[in-house]
């Protein structure tokens, strides 16, 4: 497995990749997009921070890529829908740098309110501007925190320690939770009216981009100070500049920019703006945390299939995967069988769980069924990441039901595939600890191992029917490795599953279809 680290990653993380068996790591930072595109096809995993842009174009060239790991939080530099479509898992490390980033926001607020960078620059220029650089106390002032997530909550807590009055706006956190943490929940307009300092801690999303704009500045107190250590563009840069010029905003502390690095930005040049080059997460401690976390996650994913902190797939630990693994294999084979049995495009899939699955997390089972259904159609293009999206794009509706009752086995599940022409019903269970078995197809009970080259034959249950099938295959030197017969619950038909050493050629399938007691022959591949 080959890993490319394309942004600066802490030493400890790089060492973990170097020490991992079966993993080769290349560190190539600062590559231009074209240069990265030219080499990406060699890699199974890509490790980034905020500099590398993982665009649809890059992903198109990344034919081997299985996972993108972000040593940090923000994923606005990754085209997540495009990654999902291509079956690439996208992971971040959601906690390693939150304290550091919150501390940076507090540091920026203090530096801004006490003119520390300006004082330093002025002294360096040989000036002693005590009067001009008089600052403001933060004691008893109101800090408005927008976004009460991991970082916003730490900023609020630290500000409380500095004896500020903290008001919070976050529409996705209940007022009770904010009150329980000891802060005052407010709507956005109230925050604008009350705050002396405003610090934003929301992700860059369609509806947060430009949320602090001219209209918002209009609602704020005169002389408010703005801190943005979240993402460039959440505070609209042109509007902020105008508000600084008009005096509405007394100062701004910016760690992030609409374009990074900012080019000839009037904001950066403004005397009441202080700024850092996206240093929010840049401490030794945070960089060690995120480097180690991303390396661990990527190594576990590449070597054991464990998914942690993925944004486009549910997390599954190696241990859980071991328990659920046989059911996922079964589910996938059942989906694959359904795709080959039905006539017409599948419109709906119903997954029914029957019996006692103990405390297994069955949530990935439907995804595995869909992966199986799509595999005969799109082959390797489908995986656990994109199966749901691909199914949705093909108009396949998925529902799940469960009941404590199971007729034959302790537990089993049934996959109903509904097309415009028919409904096909397949049930399966696990024998022993991990052997998948199909135990029912429509009205036929059986115990079939869904694996390898197979053929499903429906025939009339009369002496000689199996003999004529064996003779036909023997004549063409096709060896039958295994044969399972399923009986109709009522009626005179059998179904026979043959597992052959080699695929049965189309001409031989046609010849079998001519046999007197044979009704249908469906070749199957697993
Ligand atoms: N400057 C830097 O170096 C760093 C910047 N960041 C940025 O900080 C952001 C926040 O990080 P975390 O706190 O870990 O994320 P988080 O996901 O824990 O918290 C984000 C919060 O924003 C809230 N939110 C979303 N839309 C909102 C809206 N319209 N109004 C108010 N609240 C809204 C969410 O409900 C959530 O509670 C990241 O997305 C990243 O962009 C993160 C790390 C370092
Ligand atoms: O983790 C984040 O979201 C950050 O913004 C940190 O960015 P960086 O890894 O320092 O380029």
Calculate what percentage of the chain has a pLDDT beyond 90.
Answer: 78
pLDDT > 80? residue 380:
no
pLDDT > 70? residue 261:
yes
| Cα dihedral value 233, 237, 239, 244, nearest 10 | 130
CA of 205 to the centre of ligand 1 (A): 10
Mean pLDDT, range 209-217, rounded to an integer: 97
Cα dist. 194→51, 166, 191 in Å? 36, 10, 5
Protein residue with least CA distance to atom 10, ligand 2: 281
> How does DSSP assign 78-143, residue by residue?
B-HHHHHHTT-EEEE-SSTTHHHHHHHHHHHHHHHHTTHHHHHHHHHTT---TTTT-----TTPEE
pLDDT > 80? residue 316:
no
Protein residue with least CA distance to atom 5, ligand 2: 74
CA of 229 to the centre of ligand 2 (A): 10
pLDDT > 80? residue 319:
no
Any catalytic annotation for residue 354? no
Give residues (CB < 6 A) around ligand 1: 72-74, 97-98, 101, 146-152, 169-173, 201-204, 207-208, 229-231, 255-256, 278, 280-281
Identify the band that residue 117 occupies on the pLDDT scale cut at 50, 70 and 90. Answer: very high
Q: Please tell me the distance from the alpha carbon of residue 293 to that of residue 303, in angstroms, as a whole number.
A: 15
CA of 280 to the centre of ligand 2 (A): 7
The residue to mutate among 7, 70, 204, 281, having the most atoms of ligand 2 within 8 angstroms of its beta carbon, is: 281
Protein residue with least CA distance to atom 8, ligand 1: 230
Give residues (CB < 6 A) around ligand 2: 49-50, 72-74, 97, 278, 280-282
3-class DSSP state for residue 14?
A: helix
Q: What is the pLDDT of residue 300?
A: 94
The residue to mutate among 13, 48, 50, 152, having the most atoms of ligand 2 within 8 angstroms of its beta carbon, is: 50
Protein residue with least CA distance to atom 39, ligand 1: 203
Mean pLDDT, range 74-93, rounded to an integer: 91
pLDDT > 90? residue 97:
yes
Q: What is the pLDDT of residue 318?
A: 67
pLDDT > 70? residue 80:
yes
Mean pLDDT, range 210-228, rounded to an integer: 98
E runs forming strands in 261-337: 273-275
pLDDT > 90? residue 359:
no
Identify the band that residue 476 occupies on the pLDDT scale cut at 50, 70 and 90. Answer: very high
Q: What is the pLDDT of residue 105?
A: 98
Single out the catalytic residue among 57, 260, 468, 511: 260
CA of 69 to the centre of ligand 2 (A): 12
**Position of tokens 């409380």?**
160
Arithmetic mean of pLDDT over the chain: 94
pLDDT tens digits for 28-44? 999 999 999 999 999 99
Any catalytic annotation for residue 453? no
Single out the catalytic residue among 70, 104, 169, 231: 231
Residues 111 and 253: beta-carbon distance below 8 Å: yes
Mean pLDDT, range 119-147, rounded to an integer: 98
Q: Please tell me the distance from the alpha carbon of residue 447 to that of residue 499, in angstroms, as a whole number.
A: 13
CA of 230 to the centre of ligand 1 (A): 7
The residue to mutate among 101, 206, 231, having the most atoms of ligand 1 within 8 angstroms of its beta carbon, is: 101
Protein residue with least CA distance to atom 7, ligand 2: 50
Mean pLDDT, range 208-234, rounded to an integer: 97
Mean pLDDT, range 153-171, rounded to an integer: 97
Give this complex's ipTM.
0.99
pLDDT > 90? residue 94:
yes
Any catalytic annotation for residue 231? yes
Q: What is the pLDDT of residue 292?
A: 98
Residues 160 and 106: beta-carbon distance below 8 Å: no
CA of 283 to the centre of ligand 2 (A): 11
Cα dist. 455→37, 423, 458, 482 in Å? 44, 20, 10, 11
Of 152-161, 190-199, 283-292, 402-411, the range with the lowest mean pLDDT is: 402-411
CA of 91 to the centre of ligand 1 (A): 16
Paired tokens of 195? 């705050």
Work out the burial of residue 57: count CB atoms within 10 Å of its CB; fewer than 13 is exposed, 13-18 middle, 19 or more buried: middle
Of 4-13, 114-123, 186-195, 403-412, the range with the lowest mean pLDDT is: 403-412
pLDDT > 80? residue 289:
yes
Identify the band that residue 462 occupies on the pLDDT scale cut at 50, 70 and 90. Answer: confident
| Ligand 1 atom closest to 255 (CA) | 1
CA of 53 to the centre of ligand 2 (A): 13
Of 162-166, 212-216, 315-319, 358-362, the range with the lowest mean pLDDT is: 315-319
pLDDT tens digits for 229-259? 999 999 999 999 999 999 999 999 999 999 9
Single out the catalytic residue among 158, 169, 278, 354: 278
Identify the band that residue 79 occupies on the pLDDT scale cut at 50, 70 and 90. Answer: very high
The residue to mutate among 71, 73, 104, 289, having the most atoms of ligand 2 within 8 angstroms of its beta carbon, is: 73
Between 285 and 405, the more confident residue is: 285
Task: Sketch out the chain's domains with CATH numbers.
Answer: 1-94+283-309 (3.40.50.720), 98-275 (3.40.50.720), 313-442 (3.30.1330.90), 446-526 (3.30.70.260)
Of 102-111, 279-288, 327-336, the range with the lowest mean pLDDT is: 327-336
| Ligand 1 atom closest to 146 (CA) | 31
Q: What is the pLDDT of residue 118?
A: 97
Q: Please tell me the distance from the alpha carbon of residue 34 to that of residue 17, in angstroms, as a whole number.
A: 25
């Amino acid at each position: 497995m080959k890993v490319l680290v394309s942004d600066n990653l802490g030493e400890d993380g790089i060492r973990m990749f170097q020490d991992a068996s079966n993993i080769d790591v290349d560190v190539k930072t600062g590559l231009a997009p074209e240069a990265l595109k030219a080499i990406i096809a060699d890699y199974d995993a890509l490790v980034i921070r905020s500099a590398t842009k993982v665009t649809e174009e890059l992903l198109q060239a990344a034919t081997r890529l299985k996972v993108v790991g972000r040593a940090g939080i923000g994923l606005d530099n990754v085209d997540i829908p495009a990654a999902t479509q291509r079956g690439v898992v996208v992971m971040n490390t959601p906690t390693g740098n939150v304290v550091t980033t919150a501390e940076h926001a507090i540091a920026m607020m203090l530096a801004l309110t006490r003119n520390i960078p300006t004082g330093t620059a002025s002294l360096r220029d040989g000036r002693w501007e005590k009067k001009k650089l008089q600052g403001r106390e933060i004691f008893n002032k109101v800090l408005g925190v927008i976004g009460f997530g991991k970082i916003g909550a730490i900023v609020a807590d630290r500000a409380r320690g500095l004896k500020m009055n903290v008001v919070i706006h976050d529409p996705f956190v209940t007022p009770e939770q904010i009150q329980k943490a000891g802060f005052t929940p407010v709507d956005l307009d109230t925050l604008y009216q009350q705050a002396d300092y405003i610090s934003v801690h929301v992700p860059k999303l369609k509806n947060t981009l430009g949320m602090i704009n001219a209209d918002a500045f209009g609602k704020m107190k005169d002389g408010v100070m703005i801190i943005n250590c979240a993402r460039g563009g959440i505070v609209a840069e042109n509007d902020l500049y105008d508000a600084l010029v008009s005096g509405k905003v007394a100062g701004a502390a910016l760690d992030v920019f609409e374009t990074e690095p900012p080019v000839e930005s009037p904001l950066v040049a403004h005397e009441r703006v202080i700024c850092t080059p996206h240093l929010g997460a840049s401490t030794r401690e945070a960089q060690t945390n995120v480097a180690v976390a991303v390396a661990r996650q990527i190594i576990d994913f590449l070597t054991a299939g464990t998914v942690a902190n993925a944004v486009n797939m549910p997390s599954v630990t190696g241990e859980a995967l071991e328990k659920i693994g046989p059911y996922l294999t079964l589910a996938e084979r059942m989906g694959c069988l359904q795709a080959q049995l039905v006539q017409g495009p599948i419109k709906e899939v119903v997954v029914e769980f029957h019996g006692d699955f103990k405390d297994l997390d069955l949530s990935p089972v439907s995804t595995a069924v869909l992966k199986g259904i799509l595999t005969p159609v799109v082959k390797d293009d489908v995986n656990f990441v994109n199966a749901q999206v691909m199914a949705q794009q093909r108009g396949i509706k998925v529902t799940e039901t469960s009941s404590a009752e199971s007729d034959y086995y302790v537990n089993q599940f049934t996959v109903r595939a509904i097309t415009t022409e028919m409904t096909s019903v397949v049930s399966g269970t696990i024998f022993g600890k991990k052997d998948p078995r199909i135990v029912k197809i429509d009205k036929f009970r059986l115990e079939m191992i869904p694996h390898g080259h197979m053929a499903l034959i429906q025939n009339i249950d009369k002496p000689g029917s199996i003999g004529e099938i064996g003779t036909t295959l023997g004549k063409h030197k096709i060896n039958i490795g295994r044969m399972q017969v399923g009986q109709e619950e009522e009626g005179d038909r059998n179904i026979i599953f043959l597992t052959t050493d080699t695929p049965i050629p189309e001409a031989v399938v046609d010849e079998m279809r001519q046999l007197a007691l044979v009704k249908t022959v469906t070749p199957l591949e697993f």
